[in-house]
Amino acid sequence: MIKRSVSFSKLDNFHPLDPNNPEVLCERICGARVTAVMPPYSRYYSLDLRYTGADFFSKNTLIESKTSNLYMEEFMDIIMKGRPNIFVLGGQGTGKTTYLFRIISSIPENVSILTIESTMELNILKYFPDKDVKNLKFFKLKSPEDCFKTGIRMNRDIIIDGEVRTPEEAYITLEAMTRQNRGSMGSFHTSSNEDFMYDYKNMLIRGGIYKNEESALYDIARAVNLLIFLSINRHTGRRYIKKVSEVIFKPEKYHKPYELSTLFQYDRKCDELLSINRISDSFLDRALDYEFTQDNLDQLNNLYEKMKI
């Protein structure tokens, strides 16, 4: 049955599931990811389907469910006008793509967007039909590098990689963030904001893109502005923001050219997302080069007064 399920394709270069090709990775028409394996690669025959496609939840819904809070969501609404480069982080099923949608909702309408993905999971126009969005998918004939070059020719303002999974995707996302596409973003599997810096660095090194750790960390630190880590309560199933960090670039520090400043932190004892620190002046200075205005800066300072930080 598993062989029949994945061996119907008439596509060129399609290899059916057999002992010489004991793994098939493909997609159904609906977009579900198909993973089929057989002996000798696996002990038993196995067929897994992963149905992708996150829903959009408004900031009010996220606040009511205690995934986030009012201060965090007001902060994101204001700060998105400054085009921060963002990674949404967490484990499997923690709501990374869902929160990406929430962030996308605050992207100014005049900003053009390109999504690049291995699967067309980020259907932005379904929820935001007035946004200027184009979508590209990489496969055998078109690599992430090709998608990035096409995005430049399309004159896209920002690039969103729904899930960074390969060294090439990791490098392309950094390229977007450090070149003309400030305000780009993506999601990434990791166990904390602190671990992200090293996990991402290791992926770049493993792909042979960087020859030493220092240069990889240098580019990560100068590219990324915000890290938003999501977690899940395994007893209740509630997803929540565990920590929000700003990556502050410190080029004078050769071996560790960054500091992580905690902006918001989940407190387990009081079951609340607490406001910890203000975003840096260096970020705000660059933000004023984009849609972020003096009025937005005043709004942010008023919000900080409410937060008492």
34-72 residue pLDDT tens: 889 989 999 889 988 876 556 678 899 999 999 999 999
- Last residue of one domain, picked from the residues 50, 67, 85: 50
Question: CA end-to-end span of the chain, whole Å?
Answer: 60
Indicate if 144 and 236 belong to the same structural domain. Answer: yes
Indicate if 93 and 138 belong to the same structural domain. Answer: yes
Indicate if 112 and 252 belong to the same structural domain. Answer: yes
- Whole-number pLDDT of residue 71: 98
H-assigned helices in 65-212: 70-79, 96-104, 124-127, 144-153, 167-178, 193-206
Among residues 21, 67, 57, 26, the alpha carbon closest in space to that of 228 is found at 67
Indicate if 139 and 286 belong to the same structural domain. Answer: yes
Indicate if 132 and 33 belong to the same structural domain. Answer: no
Here the CATH number for the domain that contains residue 188 is 3.40.50.300
CA distance 185 to 248: 17
pLDDT, tens only, 116-168: 988 788 889 999 999 999 999 988 889 999 999 998 899 999 999 989 999 99
- Whole-number pLDDT of residue 49: 81
The distance from CA 192 to its chain's CA centroid, rounded to whole angstroms, is: 14
- Whole-number pLDDT of residue 4: 55
Given a cut of 70, the residues of the chain with pLDDT beneath it are: 1-14, 29-31, 51-55
Indicate if 15 and 134 belong to the same structural domain. Answer: no
Q: Apex CA 56: angle with CA 73 and CA 221, to 5°?
A: 55
CA distance 68 to 50: 27
Q: How many domains does the chain have?
A: 2
Indicate if 91 and 23 belong to the same structural domain. Answer: no
- Whole-number pLDDT of residue 165: 93
3 state SS of 154 = coil
Indicate if 121 and 198 belong to the same structural domain. Answer: yes
3 state SS of 14 = coil
Residue 24 buriedness (CB in 10 A; 0-12 / 13-18 / 19+) = buried
- Whole-number pLDDT of residue 192: 98
Domain encompassing residue 20: 2-50
- Whole-number pLDDT of residue 10: 44
